A and B are shown apart, each in its own frame.
Chain A
Amino acid sequence: MAALPQLIEEDIDQLNAVLSDLLTQSEAAGGLVIDKGGFLITQCGALQSFDTTTLAALSAAAYAATQTIAGLVSETNFSCVYQQGEQHSVLIQNVDENCLLLVIFKASASVGAVKYFAAPAILKAAEQLRIAERRDPSAKLDLSTLNVADTSSLFRKRVA
């Protein structure tokens, strides 16, 4: 399985710009770019009332489950997952091999409009991820600055 490219500030800025444009055009409440393993990469919009970390994990799982269902019914691909609610609706769309786009929008809004504006946003996001993949590897994060000696008690049990 291909790995997600490392993301630098420029990538995140570009992905945020893509999300921001999408939200403006579609009047959606929020957008998230997430990794298919369940990680939140970046988010944009009025999402303060949502637990976006968990949203990302569950959305990736829901999308993966949908892909498995697609295989069972001999479909090569179900490219999106859509759930209409009473207040908010959710659309999860494939971006590329590694990433998904999650859009949260008012239930009264048209999913057709959201899908229409999401299509070019997905292309732009995928292109940015390709750019990240092709970038000079010297742009990597230097993990050697982590102090390994300190990692033996990363998680501490609370004292009663």
Chain B
Amino acid sequence: MAIINQATKELQIKIVYYGPALCGKTTNLVQVHSNVQTNTPEGKGKLVSLATSSDRTLFFDFLPIEAMAIKGFKTKFQLYTVPGQVIYNTTRQLVLRGVDGIVFVADSQYDKMAENVESFGNLEDNLKSLKLNLADIPYVLQYNKRDVADAAPMDYLEYLLNNREVQVPSFGACAHKCDGVFETLNMITRLLLHKYINESGRKVA
């Protein structure tokens, strides 16, 4: 849950990058960390990766980052990834705790479609285990690896993953080239801030 600290005028928000194994979740965070422009060096924290010796995410990646100042408010975002492999489902549930917004990263390769769909279903199941509902949480879709030879058409990915009553924003991306990475991040932060502003008349933290 987002934390609003009135004493320090800080808003802290947790965003989780979710998706199947090897879809590019960690690459998104690496690119944000490498390329983000911050006003001060402190605005960008260290990228912490709890990974195996073969660089596969074991627990999560974590990147704390401050957005450009918004009217004097310090808006801190904490970006997390989950491990994509099926065996780490308990770990994914732990990382989802307190989530405010989700970026679902799908792999555009044709032969990964079943994994994309399974991972999306797994996300919904894990949220339910935390008594959360995906429909209540701002999320965006990123169709990564658009530059591979066997990339499925965007329309097909939309049909598979964004075929709901309310469609969410989606972006094509080549995360390893940083294409689409910031567009995705800015959209989820925008959705989140809209949500909290709309809820400011009610309980917001």
Q: Is the CB of B78 within 8 A of A57?
A: yes
Q: Which of A4, A12, A58, A159 contacts B48 (CB 8 A)?
A: A58
Interface string of A26-69 (1 = CB under 8 A from B): 00000000011111111000000001011001101100110010
Q: Main SS of chain A's interface residues?
A: mixed
Interface residue? B95 (CB, 8 A): yes
Q: Is the CB of B5 within 8 A of A7?
A: yes
Q: Is the CB of B204 within 8 A of A140?
A: yes
- Chain B residues with CB under 8 Å of A137's CB are 203
Interface residue? A73 (CB, 8 A): no
Interface residue? B40 (CB, 8 A): no
- Chain A nearest CB from B92 CB (Å) reads 12
- Chain A nearest CB from B163 CB (Å) reads 26
- Chain B nearest CB from A12 CB (Å) reads 4
- Chain A residues with CB under 8 Å of B62's CB are 38, 54, 57-58
Tell me, in angstroms, the Cα distance from A145 to B70 when the chains sit together.
9
- Chain A residues with CB under 8 Å of B194's CB are 148, 151
Tell me, in angstroms, the Cα distance from A152 to B194 when the chains sit together.
11
Q: Which of B7, B11, B14, B186 contacts A12 (CB 8 A)?
A: B7
Q: Is the CB of B204 within 8 A of A6?
A: yes
Question: Which residues between 2 and 26 of chain A lie within 8 Å of chain B, taking CB atoms?
Answer: 3-9, 11-13
- Chain A residues with CB under 8 Å of B205's CB are 3-7
Q: Is the CB of A57 within 8 A of B64?
A: yes
- Chain B residues with CB under 8 Å of A3's CB are 1, 203, 205
Q: Which of A35, A54, A139, A156 contacts B36 (CB 8 A)?
A: A156
Q: Is the CB of A39 within 8 A of B197?
A: no
Q: Is the CB of B99 within 8 A of A37?
A: yes
- Chain A residues with CB under 8 Å of B1's CB are 1, 3-4, 35, 37, 98
Q: Is the CB of A4 within 8 A of B3?
A: yes
- Chain B residues with CB under 8 Å of A38's CB are 14, 62, 78, 80, 98
- Chain B nearest CB from A140 CB (Å) reads 6
Tell me, in angstroms, the Cα distance from A37 to B36 when the chains sit together.
24
- Chain A residues with CB under 8 Å of B132's CB are 1
- Chain B nearest CB from A24 CB (Å) reads 22
Q: Is the CB of A157 within 8 A of B178?
A: yes
Q: Is the CB of B185 within 8 A of A53?
A: no
Interface string of B11-51 (1 = CB under 8 A from A): 11010000000000000000010011100000001101000
Q: Is the CB of B36 within 8 A of A157?
A: yes
Interface residue? A76 (CB, 8 A): no
15 pairs, A vs B, C-beta closer than 8 Å: A1-B97, A4-B3, A6-B4, A39-B14, A42-B5, A61-B60, A68-B90, A140-B6, A144-B197, A146-B193, A148-B190, A148-B193, A152-B186, A157-B37, A157-B178
* Interface residue ranges, B against A (CB under 8 Å): 1, 3-9, 11-12, 14, 32, 35-37, 45-46, 48, 59-60, 62, 64-65, 67-68, 70-71, 73, 75-76, 78, 80, 90-91, 94-95, 97-99, 130-132, 178, 182, 185-186, 189-190, 193-194, 196-197, 200, 203-205
Nearest 5 pairs between A and B by C-beta?
A37-B98, A12-B7, A143-B200, A9-B7, A154-B67
